[in-house]
Amino acid sequence: MTKNNVLANCARFGNEAVDGFLDKAERAAMMASAAEKLEELFDVLKIDHRNDHNTRDTPARVAKMFVEEILHGRYVPPPKITEFENAARYDQLIVTGPIELRSTCAHHMMPIYGSAYIGVLPSVDGKIIGLSKYDRIVNYFGTRLQIQEELVKQIEQYIVETTNPRGLAVRISAVHMCKTHRGVRASHASRMVNSTFYGEMATSSALKAEFLQECAALDRR
Ligand SMILES: Nc1nc2c(ncn2[C@@H]2O[C@H](COP(=O)(O)OP(=O)(O)OP(=O)(O)O)[C@@H](O)[C@H]2O)c(=O)[nH]1
């Protein structure tokens, strides 16, 4: 695919996957193109990247960081989910966390970091998925420009679509560095906490309470 096609292929929203995803050669073309633009930006900002020993390779380095790390979850498919039979017909709440969350805010492109917790109420005649896959799913959707409200929903939607549970809860507690390192310069202790509930987890206040209690207990360890 040519450089222009790579750009034409982009989805409309900054936190959605591009249509068809990008292979290694397409991502390399995107990196080369981004590095050129970053050189221009450095020139505008009067950063002498051609002569300064520290910033000489920074445009290419930053381009690679965006394509292969910070925005990677838009260009490659989501992680494969390993499924197991729910042979014991297990029907109680499973809670996993804290899962390390690393993402980037859509407004200032500053880091978001914190913890995610996922609660699953499996279907007795459905499947159980490998525990590590929840961490991989959080990593995947974190590598996009995000706001926290959409991040929990994207994680929820993917798990619901792939595993069809009776209920699901996703909770994130995170620091937004756009608030702590600039602008209002809030305390590093200042977090945003939000949750989303699906299916029986959305309708049962007892299940919600059990999930939140398990999150608090996992947070203390
Ligand atoms: N609701 C929500 N807001 C966020 C999130 N991340 C960052 N923000 C806020 O989005 C807003 C960005 O919009 P603007 O008000 O145009 O940005 P700004 O003028 O640089 O504002 P300040 O950050 O207050 O200096 C800021 O208030 C951020 O704190 C998020 O995940 N959810």
The CATH number covering residue 179 comes to 3.30.1130.10
- Give the C-alpha separation, 29 to 91, whole Å: 48
Ligand 1: nearest atom to the Cα of 151: 31
Task: Output 210-214 pairs: Cβ under 8 A, ≥24 positions apart.
Answer: 210/93, 211/93, 211/95, 211/117, 211/119, 211/169, 211/171, 212/171, 214/93, 214/95, 214/117, 214/119
* Model pLDDT, residue 3: 39
* Edge-first strand listing for the sheet containing 145-146: 145-146, 94-105, 111-121, 167-176, 192-199
The H-or-E segment that residue 191 falls in is: none
One domain for residues 104 and 137:
yes
Query: CB under 6 Å to ligand 1: residues?
Result: 105, 107, 147-149, 176, 178-179, 183-184
One domain for residues 71 and 87:
no
One domain for residues 183 and 88:
yes
* Model pLDDT, residue 125: 85
Q: Between the CA of residue 106 and those of 34, 75, 90, 184, what are the distances in Å? A: 18, 17, 39, 17
- Give the C-alpha separation, 204 to 143, whole Å: 32
Q: State the pTM of this model.
A: 0.92
| Mutate-to-test residue for ligand 1 from 107, 110, 177, 192, highest number of ligand atoms within 8 A of CB | 107
One domain for residues 39 and 64:
yes
- Give the C-alpha separation, 33 to 132, whole Å: 35
For tokens 């209920």, the residue is 167
One domain for residues 178 and 207:
yes
Please identify every stretch of the chain with a pLDDT value under 70, giving residue numbers as ranges: 1-12, 14
One domain for residues 98 and 187:
yes
The domain tally of the chain equals: 2
Cα of first residue to Cα of last residue in the chain, in angstroms, is 49
- State which residues form the domain around 48: 3-75
* Model pLDDT, residue 9: 55
- Cα(107) to centroid(ligand 1), Å: 6
One domain for residues 104 and 122:
yes
**Complex ipTM tops 0.95:** no
Tokens of 115: 């913890």
Ligand 1: nearest atom to the Cα of 179: 29
